[in-house]
Amino acid sequence: MTEFDPEKFEDKYVHYFNELQRAYKDAFNYMNDRYDSELVHAIDQQVLNESEPFYEGDGEFRVELPENPADRVQGVLADDEKIAETVDVYVERIESELRRVFGFESNE
């Protein structure tokens, strides 16, 4: 595991690209195993492709999404409420995986 440096996270794609990729991939695998895979794929490709992770301090991360994430999801049969709920769970999982990958918490 790479030792986490909050200052290096400002330039995260240079210093932590592999860790970010692993956190997002692990979150995707978790979600894909437990939720509607078509919806998970659509969120991954149409919402999370433009997301941005930030380090908030004290071992906490925040994932910022593009505006109106539910409106961006196309090609799946799901109402706005289900999409919004799934996006929220997915984002929480990414944040959890970021904490795990960077050594702030163990596997859940």
pLDDT in tens, the chain (108 residues): 568 999 999 999 999 999 999 999 999 999 999 999 999 999 999 999 999 999 999 999 999 999 999 999 999 999 999 999 999 999 999 999 999 999 998 655
pTM: 0.93
Residue 2 confidence (pLDDT):
62
User: Rounded CA gap, 107 and 49, in Å?
Assistant: 24
Distance CA 101, CA 87 (A): 21
- In this structure, what DSSP letter does residue 1 have? -
What is the reported pLDDT for 1? 56
- Cβ atoms of 31 and 93 within 8 Å: the answer is yes
At 26 the three-state DSSP class reads helix
Are 14 and 89 contacting, i.e. CB atoms less than 8 angstroms apart?
no
